[in-house]
Each structure stands twice: as structure tokens, then as C-alpha cells.
Amino acid sequence: MNNYSRLKILIVEDDEDDYILLRELLIEAIGEVDTICWAEDFKSAQVKISNENFDFYFLDNRLGAELGLDLIAEIKQHYETAPPIIMLSGIDDYQTDLDAMEKGADDYLVKSELTPHLLERTFRYSLKSKGFEAKLAKLAHYDGLTGLYNRSLFNELLIKATQQSKRSGKQFALVTLDLDNFKFINDNYGHPAGDQLLTKIARRLKHVTRSSDIVARLGGDEFSLLLKDVKNDSDFVTLVENIMAIFQKPIQISSKSVAVSSSIGIAIYPTDTHIASELIDYSDRAMYQAKSNGRNSYSFYNQELHQKAIIKHQLELELYSAIENNKLLLYFQPIVSLINDEIVSYEALLRWPDGENGFHNTEEFIEVAEESHLILKIGDWVFQHACLKLESWHAQGITDRHISINASANQFNSDDFTELVKKYIQKVPYLANKLTIELTERKPLDITEKTINRLQVLSNLGFKFSVDDFGIGHSSISYLRAFPMNSIKIDKSIVQNIINSKEDLALCTAIIALGKALSLSVIAEGVETKEIANILKSLACPYAQGYLYSKPIPL
């Protein structure tokens, strides 16, 4: 059996003849290998080094104006233990030899002295010492029983995570997990069974977490996790409940099914503390809190945050179920022409019934939905139900009604929403001309080529777009220019103030003029009195919406 048949080798060499010679010598020395890859200059070597992993590197030192020596660091940064790196040189230069060793090369060979025998020996020795090095590194960083990180590497990764979060401003959780009945299992089934249990739990933990999360076994039956890049506190609850869920299924050890539970403590960076050692301490304390709460449970270090996160998580679950069970409603508020008071369109507004008569606060639950994937489900739901309403009007012979729906910027971060809309419109093409999509200025779309294209696709189908809550957000004229907008809705806080505030009156006048100049329709929102309507008429504002005309009603 050829020991080297699976090796991938990179040769960095700017002289093609030298490359061919080395290649032939290599094959003579160690037989066929999996791949011998050639990089003919410094640049292409950099590309190959960062895109691929090799098992062996040969670097010629002279690469035009660059030095092969400078590639060593680039190789090393991709590995915990870098594979062997052999420097090649045209001349036997002691200083280069020393430099190469200093930078971490494994051997230094002079081209004119290369023989198959020498190469074979270099391979054997460097692979052996590397294998040993890698084993040592593994022992130092990993827990052999479970294959997870060990305490020492976990502590390093924790410190790294605090530094990353400091830069990115993102929070992360340190989760401490302790099995509730491990001692009982060890005592009653024996230590090998206990070990088996730990390896299986380790795999379950690995599979329930995301690849960006870190899972470690600190010793005994104690595991620690870093849950990174979490947007909001209720997401922590979701992640931790996923972890709790792995204990619902019994675990087979020595042909018996055993039920295991765990107690989990959670501390959050930077909310609880920004010091790594304190974070460990806090999540430990939270874990003991969970144990004293009756085991098989979790606890946040910060109880107030715990309560808030749980309430929010509960609201998410209820909202999810409301969407799935079709418990949401659309109410409609007319948009009227200020010239003849005729209704030109209806804005569809989402309502979520709460108990017998009331509704949940729409702004509140939309905010919760915006922070999770639920807003996408809601977006789809609203679109489909607005379409169904238009179709039912159509069936009744009412063909002149339009609807505008509210969409979240998140719906345009992927192709999913636009694809759904396209599919629907293929079936019922006339709907496109009857729908306006309102995008709020509060949480604006990112102006990227992709989002512009997505809007353009819908615009080409006949959809119209409107900027909602205009005048109070951070977006600007560039927003109007980047996206295919058809109308502006002046935010009600401005409209309702035009009597009392000269500034708001001026702002309103300016927005109406802006609309005219850019050929955009202008709709004043929140019109509640005749007085305001009259001023708007005098400013030649074409459209209005508000309680003066009608509150949102079921249609």
C-alpha cells in the first residue's frame, strides 16, 4: 500500500522546468499521490493557499520580486498545526536557511542537491514529526472522550469571543450545562456506560447547535457552550430550549434506555458582564439556580432579562400559532382623493384578535415579528389575503378597488417573497395592477443591487411601491431614486402638527412639492379633522387617509 497516495501537494515555483523536475523526482521518491498542484507565482500561490488545503508545501524562495519565505505565515494562519512546509533554493545560502527555520519552515533543500532518496526521507521525517505535533495539539485542545473542545481551548475561545463581540457589538451567551443524574448512572451502570452517555450527549449537543456555536466538555459531566451572533434575548430562549429538547429522548447505554436531564445556566455578554471570568462565574451561578429550581430546567443569570425574554418568546410562539391557524385579520382603511373625496384605494392593516373583543397592539407584535423570521411568514400571509380579498371583490363584480399592503425590508433580503408573488401573479395576472406595496421609512431597505432588482421585478409586473411614514426616518432622496417608487405617504406626526407648527407645515409643503417634482403621488396620513384636510387641499396635496374619512374597518 502506498502511504502517500492521498496526499495533496502544492509546489510554488516560478520556473516551469524546475517544477517539472521536482514533480518527476517526487513521483520517483514517493509514488503517485492524489494531486500535485503548481502555483507559478506569488499571487497565484496566495490564492491557492487561501482557497485549498494541502498536505505538503514546497516553496521556492525566489519568486520574481517576492520571497517564498513570506508565504509561510500565510500558510500557517489556515491551520492549527500547519502541514510540512519545505523551502527550496537555487543556492545553498545559510542565512536563508536560518530565516526559513525562524519563520517555521520544516526543512530547507537546495535544488541542485535534490534526489529521490533525499525527498523520500524529507517526507517521512516531516510527516512523522507533524503527526506527533498534531496529536499533541489535539491532546492539548480537545477532549478525547467526546471529541469536543476541552477547558483550556474553551477558555481561549471565550476570550476571543469577548474581543469579537466588542468589535461587532453583537451579544453572545455562555451556557453552562450539568447533567442532573450522572452520578447515579455511573454508580449503577458503571463508568464505561457513563462514558458512553457523555459521548452520545456530546454528539446531540453538536447537532442541535449551529456551526458558529462552540461546544466544550469542561470535565466530568459539565459542558459549556458559546452561542454567538444572537440578535435578541428571546432567541437565547429558543436556542436553550433546543438544547433542553435533546434530553427528551432517552439514551441507550449498555443496551438499556436511560432518561437523562440537565440543568442549564446562561449568562450574556455584554448585558451581564463584559469580563470573561465573571461570565463563567455568572453562568455557573445561574446553573445552580436552575438546579435548585427543581432540575431539568434553565435559568438566566439576569432574572429580569429572563422574564422579559420568556414573555417575548411566549408572544412569538402565540403569534406563530396565530399565523398557522389563520387567526390574523385584515382591516381596511380608505385612501381618498382630496379633490373629490372619492375612495381610490384601501390600506390593509393587520389585526390580531386578543380574547373576546380586543386586539393585540399591532406595533408591538410587529416589532417582535421583525426580530424573528415570523415577519416573513406574516408578509406572505398579508400578501395572500390581500389577493384573496381582491379576488372575492372581483367575483362580486367590484373591479375598481385597489389595496396597499405593508411589507418589511426583511422580505426583500432574499428571493423568497418575490418568488411567491411572481407565482401568484402568474395565476391571477390582473391582481398586480391593483396592489401597492408600502415600505416603511423607519426600517429602510438596504440599497443593494439585489434588493433593487427584486423591487424592479415586481414593478415590471405592475405592482406599485410607496414609501410609508415619510419624513421621520433616516432615509433620503437617494432612497426614492434607487427604488421604483410611485408614491410617498407623509407621516401622521407631521400631518397632525401642521396647524401648530410652522416647521411641520413647511415640511409638509416641501414633501408635496417633492412628490410633484419627482412625479410621485402624495398621501397625507392621519388626517383627523376638517381643518387639516382644508389646509392639505390648499397645499394641493392630492390624497389623504385618516379617521376623518374612516377608521380601519373589516370589509
The binding site for other proteins (CB under 8 A) comprises: 1-2, 5-6, 32, 34, 142, 144-147, 192, 195-196, 199-200, 202-204, 206-207, 249, 251-252, 254-255
Residue among 1 and 477 whose Cβ is closer to other proteins:
1
State in angstroms the smallest separation of the CB of 26 from other proteins: 16
Residue among 139 and 339 whose Cβ is closer to other proteins:
139
Q: Residue 63: count other Cβ atoms within 10 Å of its Cβ.
A: 22
Do β-strands 262-269 and 171-179 pair in parallel, antiparallel, or remain unpaired?
antiparallel
CA distances from 447 to 111, 421, 452, 478 (A): 55, 21, 7, 9
**What does the block give as the cell for 421?**
408573488
| DSSP three-state, residue 473 | coil
Residue among 103 and 206 whose Cβ is closer to other proteins:
206
Q: Residue 6: count other Cβ atoms within 10 Å of its Cβ.
A: 10
Residue among 34 and 531 whose Cβ is closer to other proteins:
34
CA distances from 477 to 376, 470, 518 (A): 27, 11, 10
Residue among 7 and 119 whose Cβ is closer to other proteins:
7
State in angstroms the smallest separation of the CB of 5 from other proteins: 5
DSSP state of 260: -
First to last CA, the chain: 79
Place of cell 541542485: 112
State in angstroms the smallest separation of the CB of 193 from other proteins: 9
Residue among 257 and 519 whose Cβ is closer to other proteins:
257
Residue among 83 and 515 whose Cβ is closer to other proteins:
83
State in angstroms the smallest separation of the CB of 250 from other proteins: 10
Nearest to 61 by CA among 95, 84, 31, 17: 95
Contacts of 200 (CB under 8 A, 6+ apart): 251, 252, 253
Q: How distant is the alpha carbon of residue 150 from its chain centre?
A: 27
State in angstroms the smallest separation of the CB of 2 from other proteins: 8
Rounded-to-10 torsion of CA 419, 454, 411, 473? -160
CB distance 154 to 214 below 8 Å:
yes
Contacts of 59 (CB under 8 A, 6+ apart): 12, 45, 68, 69, 71, 72, 85, 86, 87, 88, 105
State in angstroms the smallest separation of the CB of 144 from other proteins: 4
CA distance 75 to 70: 9
Nearest to 432 by CA among 391, 384, 393, 464: 464
Residue among 8 and 124 whose Cβ is closer to other proteins:
8
CB distance 61 to 87 below 8 Å:
yes
Residue among 6 and 442 whose Cβ is closer to other proteins:
6
State in angstroms the smallest separation of the CB of 28 from other proteins: 16
Residue among 251 and 480 whose Cβ is closer to other proteins:
251
| DSSP three-state, residue 303 | helix
State in angstroms the smallest separation of the CB of 204 from other proteins: 7
CA distance 271 to 173: 10
State in angstroms the smallest separation of the CB of 104 from other proteins: 23
State in angstroms the smallest separation of the CB of 71 from other proteins: 24
CA distance 485 to 436: 10
For CA atoms 369, 370, 375, 379, give the dihedral sign: positive
State in angstroms the smallest separation of the CB of 82 from other proteins: 16
Q: How is 149-181 classified by DSSP, letter by letter?
A: B-HHHHHHHHHHHHHHHHHH--EEEEEEEEESS
CA distance 59 to 121: 18
Give the angle subtended at the CA of 439 by the CAs of 436 and 443, to the nearest 5°: 170
For CA atoms 48, 50, 54, 55, give the dihedral sign: positive
State in angstroms the smallest separation of the CB of 34 from other proteins: 6
Nearest to 74 by CA among 96, 54, 94, 98: 54
Residue among 203 and 394 whose Cβ is closer to other proteins:
203
Residue among 165 and 199 whose Cβ is closer to other proteins:
199
CB distance 53 to 77 below 8 Å:
no
State in angstroms the smallest separation of the CB of 206 from other proteins: 7
Place of cell 457589538: 169
Residue among 138 and 377 whose Cβ is closer to other proteins:
138
Residue among 46 and 186 whose Cβ is closer to other proteins:
186
State in angstroms the smallest separation of the CB of 276 from other proteins: 27
